[in-house]
Structure 1
């Protein structure tokens, strides 16, 4: 099975690239599913077919699925939302507003993950292409399975037996006690997230592909996304530059655009080496329908299998030297002044300074570091080296 996430800044054409990739995959004979997790749901615009919550046949060996986060949430964690809403109601908040507030942040992403877990267990598809929400939100929810660790599950299981006792305290505290159903549903969600995490971090199965246009804003976004995804442990195997201006026939008006485009492409090739870069030109009409998407797929991939793993980089390395342990994370395009590190229990809090502000990343540490302290951290050739030493 291959799972390919495709993301990029809004407006770069990530949905079209997802559609091209999925169609090309199906033309290679792979039973392919394209999932839209973006609330904009533009698969219909690409294929000219209404794609809903059930598998929709688009072409031979190609099916589509649109995630409805509200319906998925009500099915998967309605009991949890009911409990959160009850807390707001207990505080005197209007019932309708209470349910709006109870809609958990990242609902779309979590709903997609839970749906993906179900699809993987069905084992009906060879290739799953996921057209995600724009980059920043996509990475946040791709990291949710890591944040919801085994510790969270153990805590939920400890809470479960004392739920009934908590009901006695409700009249005193004024805070509703979670129902046993909501606690059990929480445990179930965490276990599903742990399962999906194994697939996401397996570079033989899952790849992240980043889409940009030949402009400085979307390329800066791709650089930032690549930094975060590398630290999260996700394998980025391909960068796609979409909507390239043709070199001939654009006229004097676009002369400066072409000069800037050439400079940016050179920068992208240097920045992301050795990750392959593919480019797709701007067409004289919208890419819509099977024929146009097939043509674009031939232009983008040629005779290549689009599901191949174009690049596989190592994520986290661990080395032992006597009483010291070295943990190495990929940290491309980061300088010493851009980064701050803090150890919190079995996690490493990394603060990155980016052109969009401070980004906080939480990285899991190996259990072996539990009785060790951070001795020093170094940036060497695009990698973050954390040295731990045993406490005396």
Structure 2
């Protein structure tokens, strides 16, 4: 169970509270943090390290050692990059810095998630992920590497074996050894295993944490679309830090009115995905007592360890001409839905209600060419726009 959201929305507290409730129900639970700015230890008010530490009966917690994972998975590749950069005239310190790409620590941390899952020691693993930008980069990396690994990498490896002896006599430029190709392949296989685990909708779900604020909601909507694009399953949206009704000070009236509007936007944007609500508390949610209080507000009588929503509200498939977007619209008949594309969003109007879906960049540059509704699924075909053509049929 992965928790992600824009930085500062309270995802660490929400994930810790969820893990604690699940452990209280009798599940052997592990709470993990892959965020380089670890705060899981602060949330439980217990020192944590790279090895699981018991923080409550049935609940262990761990803050992954991102630097160790970097050493395990990137050292051979980094050594070659450093040698290549130094050969080009870059100083050693600068070469060391440039050889580590932004976000690698978070990416390699999730390899540990797969390893813990494969051991079978725990019934449930709750992951406090890095903020959404890093999480999306992580989840998309295996797909981005897949094309290269399947098509170019085998050819490149064979060519390198042939030309290395010849080029070695002609240039002083460091050439990749076969062991380096092995390190690249091992890294890809590790990430592929992570991808397979996280994309298994029967065992893994994502819960988006947001606040009732315009910019935070926009980030959550964007994340939801891209998670759907890569096949990850969102089973709940957590709306955190709502001003309670008990707060009657007139100073908060404008804030409360805006929150009502933002809640309506959230409900409209995420369709049938359940919304979990938590109030803004009067103190920090630190320690197991306060976390249990937060969990009770979030889940009520629901069972937090169960899949709260099963379905595929958004699907993306490639076609010969472009993309096909599938939107689940149960109980809707033909003629009751109107779809139109404006700017970077797709709008679906059903009766008096309108739902907007933030589209991926590739679809924002495309036009709707066909739409059909069959068996409760609206299928919309997008075709890449040529030149300055912007034909957007309804």
Per-residue displacement from partner, 1:256-315 (whole Å, max 9, x unpaired)?
001111111122122212111010001110000011101111111123221211112225
Find the counterpart in structure 1 of residue 11 from structure 2: 14
- Which SS does the other structure have where 1:206 is aligned? coil
Distance 1:200 1:91, change over 3 A: same
1:28 aligns with 2:25: yes
Find the counterpart in structure 1 of residue 99 from structure 2: 102
* Correspondence list, 1:159-238, <5 A: 159-164=156-161, 165-170=163-168, 172-238=170-236
8 A contact 2:341–2:367 mirrored in 1: no
Per-residue displacement from partner, 1:150-189 (whole Å, max 9, x unpaired)?
6515643444455454254146455321122221111112
Find the counterpart in structure 2 of residue 275 from structure 1: 273
Find the counterpart in structure 2 of residue 370 from structure 1: none
8 A contact 1:231–1:329 mirrored in 2: no
1:137 aligns with 2:134: yes
Query: By how many angstroms is 1:248 displaced?
Result: 2.2
Per-residue displacement from partner, 1:305-350 (whole Å, max 9, x unpaired)?
2121111222547799xxx999743479x9534469xxxxxxxxxx
1:149 aligns with 2:146: yes
Q: Distance in 1 between matches of 2:80 and 2:169?
A: 16
Query: By how many angstroms is 1:141 displaced?
Result: 0.8
| Structure 1: runs of 5 or more not aligned | 341-352, 363-373
| Structure 2: runs of 5 or more not aligned | 329-338, 346-356, 385-394
8 A contact 1:153–1:190 mirrored in 2: no
Q: TM-score, normalised by structure 1?
A: 0.81
Find the counterpart in structure 1 of residue 110 from structure 2: 113
Query: By how many angstroms is 1:67 displaced?
Result: 2.4
- Which SS does the other structure have where 1:205 is aligned? coil
Matched positions, count: 356
Find the counterpart in structure 1 of residue 381 from structure 2: 385
Distance 1:107 1:254, change over 3 A: same
* Correspondence list, 1:201-350, <5 A: 201-314=199-312, 316=315, 328-330=324-326, 336-338=341-343
Q: TM-score, normalised by structure 2?
A: 0.81
